[in-house]
Structure 1
């Protein structure tokens, strides 16, 4: 499966998951960063059960092959474009690291993201004028 097909399948899977959890009583939405945000209150056991039932209905999310350095380099360019857009729209995101640092840290908890605020403790920046790049946006 190519990266565009993987990304489309992932998006469909996450949309299904959000809809399934909402139907199960846990309001959920697909976030711009590709995660599912769910309001579960303190109903952890019930939420876990609903998540398992949704997984059984659609199946597990298949894992994608790790991104190559070439793919990460192209994705870095897209992230830098997003950073520049956010700055142009008056936001204060964390400046990008070097390309080499970005690639080296991509799979760690220190990975840079254009939507990270420069000031710690602030929420991720969300501006519809600067859409979050997706892996399928890489031009080959």
Structure 2
């Protein structure tokens, strides 16, 4: 699927309220997020196994401190998680193996239903540490987005995500969306006013799983992270 009509990298077109060129008249069945291609080529930042393992070691150290684990277990890496969806599914599976009612959700992340009782919280902290250590995500997913990655995200939302939701009957309010380069310039410095196409979070609970699969709210890993 070819899409276009937005600014090229480096411009500041795409003013508040604009939408992408893909229109809602497209059949809902035709949408495929993997068909969207970014105008900017993103290259992975972690190119060697040593770089990835060093990142993992530092992250797990901070994770242990956050979870207040004085003697965190020594957990070997089982496998890197090469996609956000796989990461969530593996985490949920790992939690279930440890007796927790975890479920990966289409919007991203893992939820527990029923909620974890206070009496099991210490066991949960150990499980959370072990599961992440075993099935650690590619460090690309845990590193702050670069300016070019933010441009890719803005373009994806404009060209694919917002029109895809429209084709499925959901309208994103873009009246307060910043222009492309304004968004890039302020994303890391103005977290309070950071804009996302979620209607202040309301859409996150309204969109059914089958629509999330057609209209994920972030670009494919190949386009956002340069991963094959």
- Global fold match (TM > 0.5): yes
* Superposed CA offset, 1:6-46 (max 9, x none): 87255443322111112222222333343222333333333
For residue 102 of structure 2, the aligned residue among 21, 28, 38 is: 28
Greater RCO (CA < 8 Å, at least 6 residues apart): 2
Instruction: Could you tell me which runs of 5 or more consecutive residues in structure 1 were left unpaired when the two chains were aligned.
Output: none
Paired residues, number: 135
What does residue 42 of structure 1 align with? 117
**Mapping of residues 1-140 of structure 1, within 5 Å:** 2=44, 8=82, 10-39=84-113, 40-43=115-118, 44-56=121-133, 58=134, 60-61=136-137, 63-64=139-140, 65-80=143-158, 81-95=160-174, 96-107=177-188, 108-114=191-197, 116-117=198-199, 120=200, 122-124=202-204, 125-127=206-208, 128=211, 129-138=214-223
Structure 1-normalised TM-score? 0.69
What's the Cα RMSD here? 3.4
Per the TM alignment, residue 123 of structure 1 is displaced from its structure 2 partner at its CA by: 4.9
Per the TM alignment, residue 85 of structure 1 is displaced from its structure 2 partner at its CA by: 2.0
Over alpha carbons, which structure has the higher Rg? Answer: 2
Distance in 2 of aligned mates of 1:14 and 1:31: 8
Check the 8 A contact 1:32/1:132 in 2, yes or no.
no
* Superposed CA offset, 1:72-123 (max 9, x none): 1122111122112223332232313311232234343543332x12xx4635
Secondary structure of 1:138's aligned partner: helix
Q: Which moved more, 1:77-86 or 1:88-97?
A: 88-97
Structure 2-normalised TM-score? 0.47
**Distance change in 2, residues 1:47/1:75 (3 Å):** same
Check the 8 A contact 2:90/2:135 in 1, yes or no.
no
